[in-house]
Amino acid sequence: MSDVLIAPSILSADFARLGEEVAAVDRAGADWIHLDVMDGHFVPNITFGPPVIKALRASSPKVFDCHLMIAPADPFLEAFAEAGCEYITVHQEAGPHLDRSLQAIRNLGVKAGVSLNPSTPETTLEYVLDRLDLILLMSVNPGFGGQAFIPSVVEKVRRVKAMIGDRDIRIEIDGGVTPQTAPALAEAGADVLVAGSAVFKGGHEDAYRENIAAIRQAAEGALRKAA
């Protein structure tokens, strides 16, 4: 298993300086850039859409990991692909035709992800596993940064890992990830850790570097201990 990737969520960045913030977390050691798109309908908050993501592309060459918390998602998939996202993740709960959404994402030449809210069982993914590149397990209810981690996700990671077997599917965790919660997640089999408030606290690049390193060390320390 490769090392755990850290994906800072720019939801916790300074929105007045978004391009600089993306460049700063890139230099500070981010593996991916996590982009939280919210519509005020599927989740009770509104953030940004394709034009903002397109503008941010110039600030970092790292993987743009787009988390769509919008319903419907299908009419907008092409715009997010054109904006430069490498992964597009839709919510299982956001529409009735998950199989179709996943096919549409891959047909755009983009990697396809599904996100599950904390209350949604992983068995709902059983028949789409071969259409998936990423499973994003929410460890908070989507909509806001800085919420408390929901511990039942750790067992869910284990179940998802067993379910995907040897398929090339990444398991990503989103919500309440900190150096305290990262070890159990890594040990259970998470590959990508999203962190918003735990990365952007401090408000400048040196703090971001320390924050990212602290999460990474906590996760990798747990993996070494388990090996």
CB of 11 to Zn ion, least distance (A): 7
52 vs 103 by CB, closer to ligand DX5: 52
Q: Is 142 in the site for ligand DX5 (CB under 6 A)?
A: yes
101 vs 139 by CB, closer to Zn ion: 139
Q: Is 216 in the site for ligand DX5 (CB under 6 A)?
A: no
Contacts of 60 (CB under 8 A, 6+ apart): 22, 23, 25, 26, 30, 33
Cα 96 from chain centroid?
Answer: 22
Q: Is 174 in the site for ligand DX5 (CB under 6 A)?
A: yes
Of these, 73, 90, 195, 219, which contacts ligand DX5 (CB under 6 A)?
A: 195
Q: Inter-axis angle of helices 18-27 and 205-226, to 10 degrees?
A: 40
- Amino acid symbol at 31: D
Q: Is 101 in the site for ligand DX5 (CB under 6 A)?
A: no
36 catalytic? Reply is yes
C-alpha–C-alpha distance, residues 158 and 164, integer Å: 10
Segment 55 to 84, residues that bind ligand DX5, using CB under 6 A: 67
- In the list Zn ion, ligand DX5, none, the entry touching 103 (Cβ below 5 to 8 angstroms by class) is none
The residue count of the chain comes to 227
Of these, 175, 186, 215, 216, which contacts ligand DX5 (CB under 6 A)?
A: 175
Single out the segment in contact with ligand DX5 by CB under 6 A; choices: 51-59, 70-78, 92-100, 196-204: 196-204
Nearest to 82 by CA among 102, 61, 57, 63: 57
Exactly one of 39, 65, 174, 191 is catalytic; name it. Answer: 174
Of these, 90, 94, 140, 160, which contacts ligand DX5 (CB under 6 A)?
A: 140
CB of 145 to ligand DX5, least distance (A): 3
Q: Is 8 in the site for ligand DX5 (CB under 6 A)?
A: no
Which residues contact ligand DX5 by CB under 6 A? 9, 11-12, 34, 36, 67, 140, 142-143, 145-147, 174-177, 194-198
